[in-house]
Amino acid sequence: MTETGVTLDRNTLLTWMQIVKNFTKGSVIQEWSNVLFFNGRMYAQGADLAVSRLMPITHGDPHQDISLLYPAEELYKFVKSCKSDLTFGDSGNVISGRSKVKFPQLKTQPELRFGISDDSVWETNIGEPLSVSLFLRALTAVEKFASQNDARIFFNGAHWTSRFIECCDGSGICRVFGDFKIPDIVLSSNHFDTVKLALKAHEEEGSFFVSVENNKITMRFHKSKAVYIFSSVDTKYPDTDKVFPNMSNPDCQVSVNLKQLEGLVDQSLIFFNKIISIKASESISELSITTPDLSGQSGFQGNVDAIVRGNVNASYNPILIKDALDSFAKLDSRETVDILFSGVNTPFCIEKKDDYAIVIMPFRT
């Protein structure tokens, strides 16, 4: 007797399973560690998110009455090991080439949360499309400045507004400007990896739609009819505009080779990772970095050629400087970075452009 079922495209399935595995792995709640195949769609969910997309069917009836649960981690490993498309039988067998595995079928279908199974979730375009590449670039640049378990819960995510996305950990801010089509919300840093994987998986679609309702963020990709629903961080983000320095006429501007400055910061971190002093003088045309040792003397000193207008002598966290330079490299392809200072003990600001701004708060000494 021939087993009935549907055949799914292996590569598309693997990409989706990588997203699912990201948040189901290690879940102690059984219904959050499985994927559900039901009525032509695939579903998975976690503590505060749910995802779904059309089955990438290459053969078989998409409307076939099939409702099967599979353990996400084991299914991911099997799909990854396969070289050809996979046939999912209605008895729980999964076949690829000459390989076959039978997964134990759970008797109780999980309750699908967040309205993820409602067809209206993906049938209607809401608002205007948002660029996949723009949002991916922005989130990748700002994420290093997000916290994970800060008591100030607004720092545990990305502040997403209609005109910019930013992350701030209290000592540094990275903000990327753009038309982001959404009111003020905070996307939890716990969801960054899942969102980035989703954006990369649907990059060819070019755009997606996003809406917010009752502290839920819904991302829709219409070509694949994929839906990602997340709980946002229920908090009001502070007004970070107040800490952005006025850089229209800076007291000091330093233009320096990005790679050379990164190397200097990396060297300083070998000796001390808490604080560095940055000095630059127009008369010397170089930027110097020094670190203290435990006795108060200089533990490291390094210099790099620079074009300097004005003078500066201030102290900063070198790890934040390193993160700022890394974010800059993801936002701008230039070999030279311009750093602006508006006075003594003022923020370290990577040149504010129309599409980004990165600010590091100084140590108060």
Going from N- to C-terminal start, the domains of the chain cover: 5-117, 130-241, 244-360
CB atoms within 10 A of CB 32: 19
Q: Do domains 130-241 and 244-360 have the same CATH topology?
A: yes
Crossing angle for the helix pair 318-331 and 132-142, to the nearest 10 degrees: 170
Does the CA dihedral 7-8-11-16 come out positive or negative? Answer: negative
Residue type, 345: N
Instruction: For residues 61-73, give the mean pLDDT.
Output: 74
Mean pLDDT is lowest, of 86-100, 206-220, 238-252, for: 238-252
What's the CA gap between 293 and 290, in Å, rounded? 10
Instruction: Record the tokens describing residue 179, joined without a space.
Output: 């038309």
Instruction: For residues 333-341, give the mean pLDDT.
Output: 88
Indicate the pTM of the whole model.
0.85
Range 130-241: architecture per CATH: Roll (3.10)
Decide if 90 contacts 11 (C-beta within 8 A): no
Q: What is the CA radius of gyration of the chain?
A: 25
The predicted pLDDT at position 1 comes to 40
Decide if 1 contacts 7 (C-beta within 8 A): no
The predicted pLDDT at position 115 comes to 84
Does the CA dihedral 74-75-80-82 come out positive or negative? Answer: positive
How confident is residue 266, by pLDDT bands cut at 50, 70 and 90? very high
Residue 97 region by backbone torsions, left for phi larger than 0, else alpha for psi between -120 and 50, else beta: left
Please tell me the class of the 244-360 domain.
alpha beta
Decide if 57 contacts 7 (C-beta within 8 A): yes
The predicted pLDDT at position 308 comes to 93
Decide if 163 contacts 179 (C-beta within 8 A): yes
* 291-304 residue pLDDT tens: 876 565 557 889 99
Q: Which residues pair with 207 in a beta bridge?
A: 131
Instruction: For residues 147-170, give the mean pLDDT.
Output: 89
Give Dmax over CA atoms of the chain in angstroms.
88
Mean pLDDT rounded to a whole number for the chain:
85
How confident is residue 205, by pLDDT bands cut at 50, 70 and 90? very high
Instruction: For residues 22-38, give the mean pLDDT.
Output: 79
Please tell me the class of the 5-117 domain.
alpha beta
Decide if 102 contacts 14 (C-beta within 8 A): no
How confident is residue 51, by pLDDT bands cut at 50, 70 and 90? very high
The predicted pLDDT at position 85 comes to 95
Shortest CA distance to 252 belongs to which of 289, 283, 291, 298?
283
The predicted pLDDT at position 9 comes to 95
